[in-house]
Amino acid sequence: MMTPEQTIAAFLEVWKNHPDFFLVSDIEADLDNLNQSISSDQSNEDIAKLIQNWCKNHPIIRDAVLAASRKPKPRKSEDTSLGNVLDNRYPELSKVLREKIEKSEQK
């Protein structure tokens, strides 16, 4: 079982390295719901639960997050033609998740 921080970090790794997974029409539409559900004042546990529940509806993302969580270290993001399209579309979601990971790493 993953810690909340591992869940968030694995989701961010998939977000960064596989933006194409999120740009499938039904996933992209549902990403708005996740974006609206997550805020910076929520605990890591609450955010991880939201991510896990959201991923249940999107097996391709769920499988990628599980695979990413098994890696010892996040690898550098690959250059893609999509660039930072997800960060540009969902800046608040990306920012909140990154801040949560940074805070947990500082402890």
Helix or strand or coil: residue 15? helix
Provide the residue-wise pLDDT of the chain in tens; the chain has 107 residues.
Answer: 789 999 999 999 999 999 999 988 889 889 999 999 999 899 999 999 999 999 999 999 999 999 998 866 545 555 555 657 777 778 888 888 888 888 877 76
- List the alpha helices (DSSP H) in 1-107: 4-17, 19-22, 25-37, 44-56, 59-69, 85-89, 91-106
Report the predicted TM-score, pTM, of the whole model to 2 decimal places: 0.76
- List the alpha helices (DSSP H) in 41-80: 44-56, 59-69
Under a CB-based contact definition with an 8 Å cutoff, are residues 100 and 47 in contact? Answer: yes
Maximum alpha-carbon separation in the chain: 38
All structural domains of the chain with their residue ranges: 4-71+78-106
